[in-house]
Structure 1
């Protein structure tokens, strides 16, 4: 029985796919534990909304530094080795969070956890982008990002179980301890997943001295700046909804824990489906046009979600769309950025754009926390999220197109020297369904 594009993958591509999907899933599980525990921590540890927003933002700042740093290491030492290290890093610091008892203890732990999460996300995205044939790259690489929804679903499913067995003041600590689970993925990666052929080929050639500033040189500067602005807008809007949605459900809509879990489950289903839809669309119409379509749709959904007087049924339906567009947008960034850089600086470039986009976007959850004291949480969420998507929309209009680029070439196919707009040669073979 054929399973669409998955049946067309080689055994090596399939193993690489599951390693990247598994890493993203388990790291997502670890990172979403905090969002789910935020209302509990605000009660048990007497954290304010501003404290909660800052803890959300500091993790994202850490992910910005971790993503770029891991990208530099991956260009130097290989994708697989660095991916293993980042998975272990996230597991360790998520577990350590269960030992914290105050805002000031949480602050460095959240920052360090973010470093690992950002690193794994970038390196895994570059690895899968290099491993998959160009005609399928968009949909396969985007589908890996569906692991975020799977990880969120795992943490959401485990939360009521843990809290049913243990009293609240102990349950939240035990919940963070579950973060050690990703460590078991290392065996699979170590034994069964080979290094990227593109990296191996590049490593066999005479190598230039590592220059972290090359992505800001004349040849790549325009691509780097536009891509970073695009990521900042997309992540800024996404982080607002991810960070504050559970609190919005509990404290604004006054939903009990069981109902909140149900509504979030619908959002997670959307996040699971969105990357598959985005990937197929981007392989057919190009990465940039797919970004424009999804950004416009997401801005409309957020507007209704936060400003319109809607009932619970409509809220449920919008939650599905919110997750789908959010997941699709985030899934498109890594492969789009990876296609824009040559192999020797691919993880560096993609890591910087993705990670500093996360860093700039991380300002938004904290901004919503502060602004909500004056304008209310729903209004603050809507205003800042829509502003973020508008910034991303402008950047997407300017993004060079390298859809289906040959990852082994010095200058990716479809991107002219200096970062000019792509020709149509790459797009010609993209979208051919096997």
Structure 2
């Protein structure tokens, strides 16, 4: 009871802030530093992830891969990320959010660099899998860290702003990849791009020096450690009413991430092989896609506070499915329309994620929040990871564009999953 009263008192004392950046001011100095650490971690998480999709054509040519083996590189990353993400959630509940954040960032940085030294396809597959251990945990840990500083009225837009870091990291990866491939031979360029994955090491210095867990979360963790009742375990999120929540949250994560990673993995290849653009030539098309994504994260964060978590996800799931069908079925010569349509595609498939950080955080109590969010988000990511492999296997007969329609199936699954979950808007974190 002591922890619950403390949490309620802290939320009650938070200043009421208005204006476009009221959510940021309301976090307070410690909350803003936590936001900076989570934003930077997720941006560099995104950067390191996209080193593969953006170099996939060169990697495939270098090792002589077919579409199925190429798609497996992404699938193994996402499947292993489920393991890393699930355990990172437990670690965050047991040793704290900040220390868990540092572990995940260091892991994905080290193994992204290692990918650049891979002598064979098999070694690249292993390194990419190990990179997934850190990649899977960072978002869940960073989102929880910030969510526990944010007030209920601002939590959606605050976590939406953290989500926008994904677009920032994606954009940086496109710029770096475009420059490297412009000046370096493709057989070496893909390795150089992976080596730049060492950038997250700089973030660790900032996190170590300036970021700490929210006091209420720390008190709850220490209290749980003393009593050992309600300790963070995977079994805890399958007990009582949490069982239903966990199962439907996994289904929701599976649908949304199956749709998203299908696009993130195969759109660069679709633009090159089906639309016959060079690696450098895809930059303009990806710029529209990424610009839409960045604004989608921010807009979705605002709407998730206004409309509610479930309505925001449902609206953009339907819109994303429609955009996928349109984007992949334009006439081959409609390059201008393809360019323009990239903006709403990026907008919709990103806005749907803005409510995830707040929604999953609000579904679980503090003692198992990291475990619940880490498990559901990353198990969904692992199952959804088979969507890109399915596209790769069907690309030979259907074409990449035709196979990409399976992304729309993922969004349909997400809408169905919402029927089994409660609305959590305005719910305090206890």
Listed as ranges, the matches of 1:44-193 within 5 Å are: 44-193=62-211
Deviation at 1:161, TM superposition (A): 2.0
Preserved contact between residue 80 and residue 129 of structure 2 (Cα < 8 Å): yes
Preserved contact between residue 334 and residue 354 of structure 1 (Cα < 8 Å): no
3-state SS of the aligned residue for 1:105?
Answer: helix
Preserved contact between residue 80 and residue 189 of structure 1 (Cα < 8 Å): yes
3-state SS of the aligned residue for 1:376?
Answer: helix
Matches of 2:40 and 2:233, distance apart in 1: 32
3-state SS of the aligned residue for 2:119?
Answer: coil
Aligned pair partner of 2:397 in 374, 390, 393: 374
Aligned pair partner of 2:388 in 321, 344, 365: 365
Structure 2 unaligned runs (5+)? 1-17
Matches of 2:118 and 2:385, distance apart in 1: 22
Residues 180-223 of structure 1 show CA distances to partners (whole Å, capped at 9, x for unaligned) of 11011011111111112232120242342443201111220111
Q: Cα RMSD between the aligned structures?
A: 1.5
Deviation at 1:3, TM superposition (A): 5.0
Matches of 1:394 and 1:360, distance apart in 2: 16
Judge which range, 162-171 or 386-395, deviates more: 162-171
Preserved contact between residue 292 and residue 397 of structure 1 (Cα < 8 Å): no
Name the structure 2 match of 1:349. 372
Preserved contact between residue 236 and residue 385 of structure 1 (Cα < 8 Å): yes
Deviation at 1:230, TM superposition (A): 0.5
Preserved contact between residue 330 and residue 338 of structure 2 (Cα < 8 Å): no
Name the structure 1 match of 2:421. 399
Normalising to structure 1: TM-score of the pair? 0.91
Residues 375-422 of structure 1 show CA distances to partners (whole Å, capped at 9, x for unaligned) of 22111111x111111111111233211123211x2xxxxxxxxxxxxx
Judge which range, 372-381 or 70-79, deviates more: 372-381
Runs of 4+ more than 3 Å apart = none
Matches of 1:198 and 1:329, distance apart in 2: 29
Matches of 1:335 and 1:198, distance apart in 2: 17
Name the structure 1 match of 2:42. 24
Alignment partner of 1:309 is 2:331: yes
Deviation at 1:303, TM superposition (A): 1.2
Residues 277-326 of structure 1 show CA distances to partners (whole Å, capped at 9, x for unaligned) of 11111101110011111111111111111224371122112211111111
3-state SS of the aligned residue for 1:174?
Answer: helix
Name the structure 1 match of 2:263. 241
Listed as ranges, the matches of 1:216-255 within 5 Å are: 216-255=238-277
Alignment partner of 1:199 is 2:217: yes
Alignment partner of 1:4 is 2:21: yes
Deviation at 1:2, TM superposition (A): 6.6
